[in-house]
Structure formats: structure tokens, C-alpha cells
Structure 1
Amino acid sequence: MQEYFEFSLGARVLYKAGLARELGDVLDELGVKRAFVVADKGVAAAGLLAPVVEGLTSSVEVVGILDDVPPNSSVRVVEAGAEAVRAAASDVIIAIGGGSPLDTAKGMRLLATHGGSVADYEGYNVIPGRLMPMLAIPTTAGTGSEVTSIAVILDEADDRKISLVSRYLYPDIAILDPELTLSLPPRLTAATGMDALSHAIETYVSTENNPFSDSLALAAIDLIATHLRDAVQVGSDIEARGKMLLASAMAGLAFSNSLLGVVHALAHAIGGKYHIHHGTLNALILPHAMQFNSVVASERYVRIAWAMGVHAGGRSDKEVIADGVNAVRTLAADCGLPIRLRDLDVPEEALPELAALSVVEPAIFNNPRIASEEELLELLRAMW
């Protein structure tokens, strides 16, 4: 265990089916009057935006809506959105959607409060103070962004992802409403669920792990191993949807405190260059990363295997870990996700550049095993 660690609970979390239609009292408690809503086209097309807006009380006015956030939100979108928030004199942001709208809203409230550009706040604990209020309402069970102190924004000019990490980025309130995830298509349900699993597994073996994050991570792994297949294959299963939403938030709270590792270093590098869905990349990378790291964190990977439903049965740690890795790989395959980078149109000749980008990506520094550029290239070749 760490000699010293810090754990923050961050957002106030509210869970209830149908809760997103009843936000008036929540906003009244914050004392806000002028709401700016952030979402994406998928949320609007699925009819998820209207009930939230219509459910606001007469004391809260919607003064602006940004409903076309792209799948990989960018510096351009964040900076234009922040200007719109300032122009509308909004005093609260309500973000609805997956990781991209939620991270976009975090960036918008940062710039609307403190000014400047996204790059000014890159890194850890650079943000100088508190931000304007924000409600985060996830419509996917994956990123956990509704409860994290992290935002990742694409810098389109340099084809890289900018990571912002600060306790001030926690949303004030997270609204977990499983009804909002019922319309999510199977492929996205699978990819976002595997994203949450990668968060839980990576943070459990991170160099910054602690007893609080450990407990949340293991609980999330168990929930995902138990319920993701049902959520993918029977989209109307409200219990499975609810369990996945809870698992995503648990994993988000865990990794927001104990950080991540090589999976996200590789995924950020690849996603920045080729704009591939983050959860899809994490699902593909995760088994390879588990094998790579298990030589230095075997006890933790045995515990992960148990949480995935693997029984030790008097076998060696190596055998149990191998079954744990296979359980993760099988879960992704059962959910219909790709298992090779070539299937995502990543060219083989790009692998050396991706290894070079990954070795300096901030997430790599909390990986339990030090990874050289050559070792990362080997990993990329194995998954290509």
C-alpha cells in the first residue's frame, strides 16, 4: 500500500430510473438560473435531450444549446462553446451524452471561468481555482466522465489528445439514469462497457492504487463481467443497464484517483491519429496490456481474474492470470468487438510512430511495468 495517498469523492452522485426528467429541484439547490446544455447529435436524435430540457422548472431558463459535439471533441469545439457560454451569461452547464460531450462541457466551463486556451491547462493540477457549476448526465456506461477529475480533448492541429487533470474538473452533480442508456446500440454498449472495464483493471494495477480505489475497481470488474453481455444482447434489460452505469461510475471514481496506464497511453496515441472510438481501442489493447504487466503485478492480476469469474482451483498464478486475460478477450469477442488493429484501418507502417507517441503519453507514467518504445512497438505489432 502507498505510504501516502489522497482520495477524492468528487461529484455528488444521484441514481434513479427516470431521474433526468426531474432536474428542477437539483438545479434549485445549486441556486442557478441560466442553463447552457451540451450534447451530441446522437443524443438529440434519440430523443434524450428534450425530456431533460422540458423537465426543468420555470425558475431555470435554457439560454443556449450545443447539440452537435463530435465523437472526438476538439479544442476548436471547446473554445467556441466556452465563448457561447460567456455570451449567454450562463451560470450552469448541463452536459448530456457520452465521454465526448461530458469532456467538452468540462473544457467549456474551464475556459468560461478562467479564460485562455485548452493547452494552457494541459497536465496535472494546472487549473487555478473552482469552476462554474456543472451537471453531468451520462447516456453511455463507459467513460465515467460524470465523476472524474479528467478531461481529454483532441488537438486537431497536432493529431494528439490533450489531458487535463484537476480536482476542479469534477462535475458538481452526476445524474445516473439507466433509462437514458436503453437506446444505445449494441456495438456502442459493448465498446463503452469495455472502456469501463479497462478503467477498472488499469487503475487496480496502477502505481497509484490505494484501498479505496481498489474496492471500487474490483466491484466494477465484477459488475461488468456479470452484466455487460446482457446489456449488449438484450438492450431493454434495465437491470443490466443500471448495473453497467454504476460500474462505469465506480471505475471512474477509482481511476480519477489512482490513474491509468499503458492501455490508455496506446489508445490516446492511436485515437489521436486515427480518430477511432476510444472504448473500441481499449477493448482491443486491454488483453495485451494485461499480459505485458502481469510479470510485475501477478498478485493483482490473480485478483482481477477472480473478479472476472475465474476460479483458481489450486492452479498456479500464471494459469489463473492466463484465464483472466482470456476472460477479458472472450468478453470483448462475445460483444462483437474487433480484436486486430488492422480491422480498424490502422496501417502497419504507422506502428513505430504510434510507439514513439505512446512512450511520452502521460498515462504511461503510472503503469506498473516500465515500458520502452521498443516494447510498446512489440505490443502494437502483436495486436496489429
Structure 2
Amino acid sequence: MSDFWSGKRVLVSGHTGFKGSWLSFWLNKLGADVAGLALSPDTNPALFDQMGIEALVDHMIGDIRDADLVARRVAEVQPDLVFHLAAQPLVIESYATPLETWQTNVMGSCHVMQAIRQLSGRCAVVMVTTDKVYENLEDGRPYNEQHSLGGHDPYSASKAAMEFAVSSWRRSFLGGTNIRMASARAGNVIGGGDWAANRIVPDIVRALSRGKPIEVRNPDAVRPWQHVLEPLAGYLVLAERLWTSDDPVYQSGFNFGPDPQDARPVRDVVTEALRHWPGRWNDVSPEDAVHEAGLLSLDPAKSEALLGVKPRWSFEQTIEKTINWYRSVGDGKSAAEVTEAQLSDFGGL
């Protein structure tokens, strides 16, 4: 990576989460002055704690649904760059808490954008949504940035609505200002330190560590799996480009994902994981399950053409790195050291 980040003031919302912890750790290693705003970690264990992120950043607990708090935090930090990751990120949870999901993912994001409007200096902003923002017809085609937005479940729909809000703020308020804003669409991110409920990799790790079979609820669902470092690398490049260029082509939505032909069913994730951590799995797909997409694939051609961002690790490498992280940390190795080693292997340091 370039020395661009050294000394830059960077605000990361959602820095206590899985992706936020990886991003905050990486930015710290690149020499950035990182500040965070997020809820307390909601898993035990939590990657934020395992890697000691609190000691590496200007850490603040707060809810992005509180507009005044968000405004105060942005004014205090005066960021050069912002990565907005704070969200209610789970499809199944969104069925249980639809109002909270919409309040967090839409209004919380609006609070962040409204606060950023008050900055007078130059600021590059990456608003992170998801691959699930597209109206998914499950017709086998990979979705590019020109396809229609939509969403069946409350999570997907709220993130699509967030995309509309980002576009509205950019066109209504940011023209002629020093603020440059883009949205980043990536999903099905895996890697060491994710402990969320109802996600396949944490479910694999929890089962195998207890010597139990992995319970898989939707083995034929196809997703664009990628290691967490892949989209984060894209976010960093996009943010740097927003900072250094006034070209409006960068102030738009970007897909980050593997090559479309590398989208794989859940059963492939489980099978590949068992090559590195022996065990077994059972199909426990419930007949009355809430709706989740069966097929989803992204076209990342735009990010490759405009940003030069391409996948670095294959599907097999991604699973191997992920399982090795959990096994290494489970055997007593430092989570920060294992993470830094993987960052180095990825070429991020």
C-alpha cells in the first residue's frame, strides 16, 4: 500500500464489528490516525477485543441513530476520510427487528451524511452497503452497478434504501463542496474473527471446536464469497481515489467481489473448510425458513477497470486462511499477530 494514509484522520463507524475491526487494525498499521464510533461489540468473543483495537484507535461507544451524537463526533474528529460501516448487518435478525434495522441502516446513515455536510475541509467518504442491494431475480446473471436496486428481506431493502439516500445526499448537497462520496457494495465476507450468529463460517467454527456436526440450513445457496481483506482493499483504494481526484466517475456505487464464476454454494464452503479442520455436517434446512436468496452474484468489472482492484486470493485460499486464523488463535496465538501475518501475506503492509 502507498504512504497516503500516514497521518490521515480517519473516522470508522462500526469499528467494533468484524469488518470494522479488520479495517481499523489495517489503517493503524498504515499510519492513519483512526477514530471510531460504534455500539459495544455484541458477540463473545469479539474480534475487537481479541485484537486489542481499543488501544489502537480513538474509541467511542455510541449509536448512529442519535443524530446529535453523530454530529458531535464528526465535528470532534474533523476527519479527512470516513468509512461508514455501522449497520444492523444480518438478514435473519432483520426479520426479528425490522424497525431497528431500518432505523439503523437508513436513518443512521443519513445522520452520518448530514454530519459530514458540516465539514469545511476536504473529506472522502465511503458508505458501505452490501451485495444484497440489487433486485435479485435469481436468474443466473451477475449484477452490475446499472441493475435495479431492490430487496426482499428488511436488511436487503434497508440497504437498498441507504443507496438511494447516498445518491440523494450526493446530488442534493455535495455539489460544489469539498466532500466526495461513494458507496461500496460487497457481501458474504469471511475471515478470521467473525463470531456473529447465523453466519456459516462462525457456525462451522463453533461446531467443529465442540466436536459436533455443522448444521447447514441452506447448502445450495450460491454466494460471492471473499476474504474480508478483499473488499477492504477496495474501500481503501476507492477512498484514496476520492481524496486525490475530482473526477465524478468515482463518486458513485462500486461492486467488490470475486470473479462471477467463483461464486460457490454453501456446501462448497463447508466441504473446503473440512479439508483444514476435519469433521462432518448435516443439512438442517427448515421447511418454514424465512426467505433468503438462493443465488447471488456480482459483476466487479467497474472496480477492476476504474480502481485496478482485483481478487488476490482464490476461493480455496480464502477458506484456508480463514480456518487457519481460527485454529491458530484457538491454539493460543495472538489474534493481532495472526491478523498482521495474514495482512502481510495479502500484500497489505
Name the TM-score, length of structure 2 as normaliser: 0.32
The higher-RCO structure (CA 8 Å, 6+ apart) is: 2
Name the TM-score, length of structure 1 as normaliser: 0.30
Report which of the two has the higher share of helix: 1
